[in-house]
Amino acid sequence: MAQLAERPTATLPRIGKQGEPCVMVIFGAAGDLTGRMLIPALYNLARADLLSKEFAVLGVARTAMSDEDFRKKVHDHVKEYCPDCTEDELWDWFEKCFYYMPGDFGDKELYAKLKERLNKLDQEHSTHQNFFYYMATAPSYFGSIVENLAANGLMDQNDGHWRRVIIEKPFGHDLESAKTLNKQLLKVADEKQIYRIDHYLGKETVQNIMAFRFANGIFEPIWNRRYIDHVQISVAETVGVEQRGSYFDQAGSLRDMVPNHIMQLISLTAMEPPISFDANAVRDEQAKILHAIQPLSDEEVLSRTVRGQYGDGTIDGSRAEAYRSEADVPADSRTETFVAMKLLIDNWRWADVPFYLRTGKRMPVRNTHIVIQFRQAPFVLFRDTPVEHLMPNQLVLHIQPEEGISLRFAAKVPGPVMRLGGVDMNFEYQQYFGKQPSTGYERLLHDCMIGDQTLFQRADMVEAGWSVVNPVLDVWKALPPRNFPNYPAGTWGPKEADELLEKDGRRWRNFEK
């Protein structure tokens, strides 16, 4: 057995359980996701002493590279996101954990070679035959890669070792394809081996939704239709499609964001208290919410949904080109870059409380937030004062770029006249707990290493999310948009999105820089 360097003491104190010994195989290791997110996340875990000493990474991709070439890429990626990290003692150990083998994912012979290489790495790093496979590839490879792994015995679990697979979204492009992918995976793997990853759930504020709701006695009693008027979920991006024009034009904002990211945010916001924090107990409650969302009829799709596509505009003083002018986008594209919807949840807690959601590209700011707007207090006490209206209380969960929570309430403005002013009470994670190095993937990778599926979607959750989206896809396909582009880049979307709330006597909460 080769002599490996002893890992030095981590640079950060360990908080939590250390990951189990394992080899991580990254399919698509030469891609952007691996460099920008996965490798820096692994290094952050190492610094926090959450990686086992018996750990290795094997990158697999078409690009021809040696182990040393791959290690140089790893060094460059970590150096970019953490300039001081590659100079510390931990780096020597971390760098030697990385290996590489080139190959075509469709070549069946690759998997026999992979098995042989994994057995060798297992012996060198004492990883107890524990392997997990990360699919950083195009979605079309997900099913076939897992089938080939299984055919070569690389998904078999016996003698106490485990095998797991992490799949990046999208999980299908509609309900039927999602069901097909689930059947393909579950034919050769158990649900407990499949980790469907959604990086939004790696964000602290998203994880904190359950702690905020269920650990604080002042909020859970009012988290229902009696006190809450409506809920808004907004995912705004300033970027366009960047280098993903060909992919995005096939997907669109509805497929790209709603059945995964936004459905996860809805389920965590609306779920009932689970009986424990066991993974299936939590996901059972999330699944119930997704199944309780009222499906939209064809008529309701027309009245409760809005789609948009950005045209020329200005963001931060710079000109932004129209979507149809982006690289690899057809000049007559009818793909939506903005979506707004009104959904209702058909259960006791949320009956008649609308959930408004929107997501769009080329918006004025990058901001993801959940607004809980409470019902207004009775006006009777203030009927003989100059106060013209009472502003509703709002609780806002800020998810990105700043993570935190704010509460808006009314207070009297100092002076002899009764005047009310809005007050925001703010909490920011970074100010209170300090900044921690994070790409958003650390928690998710660590959870896979310790076998915790709480933050990963189950097959039934994926299909329930697509069940909500599918009727909208069908109507939009049958009735192509006639007015694209219908909002300038740098604005909050088409006017119809504002009208969606205005006809209910409500309005969006927009956050400026």
Burial 176-208 (b: 16+ CB within 10 A, else e): eebeebbeebeebbeeebbbbbbbbbbbbbbeb
Tell me the β-bridge partners of 196: 167, 457
pLDDT, residue 2, reads 47
Largest CA distance in the chain: 86
Phi, psi of 219, deg, nearest 5? -105, -40
pLDDT, residue 386, reads 58
pLDDT, residue 20, reads 95
Phi, psi of 347, deg, nearest 5? -145, 180
pLDDT, residue 1, reads 44
Q: Are 297 and 382 in contact (CB under 8 A)?
A: no
pLDDT, residue 5, reads 57
Query: What is 137-192 written as a DSSP string?
Result: S-GGGHHHHHHHHHHTTTT---TT--EEEEEESP--SSHHHHHHHHHHHHTTS-GG
Rg (CA), the chain: 25
Query: Is 261 labeled as catalytic in the residue annotation?
Result: yes
Question: Judging by DSSP bridges, how do beta strands 310-311 and 487-488 pair with one another?
Answer: parallel
Domains of the chain, earliest start first:
22-168 (3.40.50.720), 201-502 (3.30.360.10)
pLDDT, residue 168, reads 87
Residue of 77, 199, 230, 261 marked active site: 261
CB half-sphere exposure, 347, CA atoms < 13 A: 16
Q: Per-residue pLDDT for the chain (513 aa), expressed as one digit of tens each?
A: 445 556 665 555 556 789 999 999 999 999 888 988 899 899 989 988 999 999 999 999 999 999 999 999 888 888 887 666 666 778 889 989 999 999 999 999 999 999 999 999 999 999 999 999 999 998 999 999 999 999 999 999 988 899 999 998 889 999 999 999 999 999 999 999 999 988 777 666 667 788 888 888 888 899 999 999 999 999 999 999 887 888 899 999 999 999 999 999 999 999 999 998 888 999 999 999 999 999 999 999 999 999 999 999 999 889 999 999 999 999 999 999 999 999 999 999 999 999 999 999 999 999 999 999 999 877 656 666 655 566 788 999 988 888 888 988 877 778 787 777 777 888 887 777 666 667 778 989 999 999 999 889 999 999 999 999 999 999 999 999 989 999 999 999 999 999 999 999 999 999 887
pLDDT, residue 254, reads 96
Question: pLDDT per residue over 349-386, tens digit each?
Answer: 999 999 999 999 999 999 999 999 999 877 656 666 65
